[in-house]
A and B are shown apart, each in its own frame.
Chain A
Amino acid sequence: MSAQTKPLLEIKDLRTRFHTLDGVVKAVDGIDFEVYQGETLGLVGESGCGKSVTALSILQLLPCPPAEIRGRIVFEGKNLLDLDQDEIRKIRGNDISMIFQEPMTSLNPVLRIGEQISEAAKIHKGMTRQEAWRWAVEMLRMVQIPGPGSRSRQYPHKFSGGMRQRAMIAMALSCNPRLILADEPTTALDVTIQAQIMTLLQGLKDDFKTAIVLITHDLGIIAEMASRVVVMYAGKVVEEAPIKALFKDPRHPYTQGLLGSIPVIGRKEHSGRRLQEIPGIVPSPLETPLGCRFHPRCRKVMARCCGQEPPMIRLAENRRVSCWLEA
């Protein structure tokens, strides 16, 4: 699903660095990708590869003395990094909103749920207190929380994990955003609840016609929800492909490793086969390897990979790989 003309969000050469006492941490070191209207883009990678930082950089939710964000993030024609504080606040929660990973700690424990959901509508859509509260109750109904009227007056500690995440989704959708950044929305939840939440998200996305950037390390969720996938490693994009193509024919050795390490139960050709792992561990963000960042762990490493970073090679429309093997 990529035959759109203009992308909703274009990220160009995004570099986010943190100045710490131990040195400069290059969390995101030059990534590009696009998000089109109404699509679900998966952003996949191991912990520490920079996917959450990417999302936080889009909305500029990182404290800017230790953090430094460079590059271009073009949303509806404007570079978000050029906007001042007031202008970016108009976008947050309104055109672009975010769902966070930990529903337990991401909601304010001393404010009622209804209050927290109606806040964005009050400031962005100019609703009065009563209108916004009614809208919040309506949103709670849409995320399938039973008894939304009384629930809206409760405090977060009365909600279970799954319900809190539903409330978060309600909060994110309350102003009908064009784009939702979902940062590991189900990682902290039970598997059964995970499935419910993902189904809910999928349904709502279709209703509201919102695009979603789904950030996760769980390939199963990606397979269910995403139409396109961007794979990140150590702060860089290594591969981008439509979902079917990625699973059928991964080109980057890292992606191959990720897919190869998924246990498959029941398939005859896979029985007896040893689970493949990717040897080594993710490099420390303070000491990224020279050349291709993945080369110390790559089973197809060549001499070239140690010295030079591979360029991004376009294989087809919507397929890119950053690997010397494809050059």
Chain B
Amino acid sequence: MHNYLIKRLLSTIPVLIGISLLLFFMLRMLPGDPAQVLAGQMATPQEIENIRHQLGLDRPIYEQYAVYMSHLVRFDLGRSARTQNPVIDEIWARLPNTLLLAVVAITLACLFGIPAGIISAVRPYSWIDYLVTLSALFGISMPVFWLGLMLVVVFAVVLQWLPAGGTGSWQHVILPAVTLASFVIAFIARMTRSTMLETLSQDFTTTARSKGLSEMVVIVKHALKNALIPIITVVGLQFGFLLGGAVLTETVFAWPGLGRLLYDSISARDYPTIQGTILIFGLLYIIVNLVVDLIYAFVDPRIHYD
């Protein structure tokens, strides 16, 4: 297991370097002078010169990268061209909100998606299987932001049970979290169903039955324990989807999170914030996947005892 963990941690390094390179070159691919781009449209010539000097944009490219990296490792992401606050502060203020939504959404997804998938797999072609399969199919075909809008219309306008946006109470969390979770619940239900079906058709399930074990024991102790391993991986990957979907959902519900920050900064051409937010999103995703792989190492005996 230690080998696996070390290899996994080491493989993160090239990715981190890759991301930094990606963002580094992204800025320079934009039309115009990078310093001006970073400073924003409102900046004075003096401010532009300051930024040029600060980031070493007048020096050769590899020196620029060195300066860039030295800032990155200190989490100095520059200043927002819009608000002039340090980007890292803007991000830090909003990160908990996005994480809250994401955690609630993923919890909902596992709570509803996994059992739905299991029941569907255990009773294939029954009415409940059709219900789950159809709902899941609808769930992955619906645009997240449209669902959000429709939910707002139904629950906030017509029924007036829940607020249409903003934060404040737990009621404010419901609609955005459900919207964000919809795709993921559907995806996880489908994934669980197909994984369980596959596991239930494997040889060791027949062996378990041949010992006279009850169907419940076969499903839970033998099949599910195996199926959960790939399902955990999928849940981790879906967290990434949530981060992407957060941009859309937070916009619909005026939720003050990282996604909304990204959207606002794209609208305002605030490149330091765009860069910083994308970086943090990428970092979050990498961390989540790393955690999932760690859990994997503990749960799968083939990796654990090697």
Contact = CB atoms under 8 A, between A and B. Distances in A.
B302 A123 contact: no
Interface stretch (A108-116, A202-210, A241-249, A290-298): A108-116
Interface string B295-306: 000001110010
B208 interface: yes
Interface stretch (A20-28, A93-101, A131-139): A93-101
A61 interface: yes
A6 interface: no
A124 B212 CA distance: 8
B204 interface: yes
A92 B211 contact: yes
A98 B210 CA distance: 7
Contact of B212 (A93, A106, A155): A93
A93 B302 contact: no
B304 to A, nearest CB: 9
Interface in A77-131: 85, 89-94, 97-98, 100, 102, 105-111, 119-120, 123-124
B302 A94 contact: no
B204 A107 contact: yes
A100 B212 contact: no
Contact of B226 (A61, A102, A109, A124): A109
A106 B305 contact: no
B182 to A, nearest CB: 31
Given A106-B203, A110-B300, A94 B212 contact: yes
Contacts of B215: 85
Given A107-B204, A108-B204, A119 B302 contact: no
Contacts of B214: 89, 123
Given A108-B204, A110-B225, A111-B222, A97 B301 contact: no
Q: Output the residue of A94, A109, A123 with the most chain B CB within 10 A.
A: A109
A59 interface: yes
Contacts of B204: 105-109
A89 B226 CA distance: 23
Contacts of B71: none
A158 interface: yes
Contacts, number: 76
A90 B212 contact: yes
Interface in A154-171: 154-155, 157-158, 168, 171
B301 A91 contact: no
Interface residues of B, number: 22
Contact of A100 (B206, B221, B226, B229): B206
Contacts of B11: none
Nearest to B227: A110
Given A109-B226, A155-B301, A155-B305, A100 B209 contact: no
Given A111-B225, A154-B305, A61 B206 contact: yes
B225 to A, nearest CB: 5
Contacts of A154: 305
Contact of A92 (B212, B225, B300): B212
A157 B209 contact: no
Contact of A108 (B208, B212, B305): B208
Contacts of A56: 206
A94 B207 CA distance: 13
Interface string A213-257: 000000000000000000000000000000000000000000000
B225 A89 contact: no
B213 to A, nearest CB: 6
Q: Output the residue of B214, B222, B301, B302 with the most chain A CB within 10 A.
A: B301
B202 interface: yes
Contacts of B305: 154-155, 158
A59 B210 contact: yes
A135 to B, nearest CB: 14
B41 to A, nearest CB: 58
21 contacts: A92-B209, A93-B210, A94-B212, A97-B211, A98-B207, A102-B203, A106-B206, A107-B207, A108-B208, A108-B222, A109-B204, A110-B225, A110-B300, A111-B225, A119-B208, A119-B211, A120-B213, A123-B214, A124-B212, A155-B305, A157-B302
Top-10 shortest CB links A-B: A93-B211, A92-B212, A93-B212, A105-B203, A155-B301, A108-B204, A89-B212, A120-B211, A98-B210, A106-B203
Given A97-B210, A109-B302, A120-B212, 10 more contacts: A61-B210, A93-B213, A97-B211, A102-B203, A106-B203, A109-B204, A110-B225, A119-B213, A157-B302, A168-B207
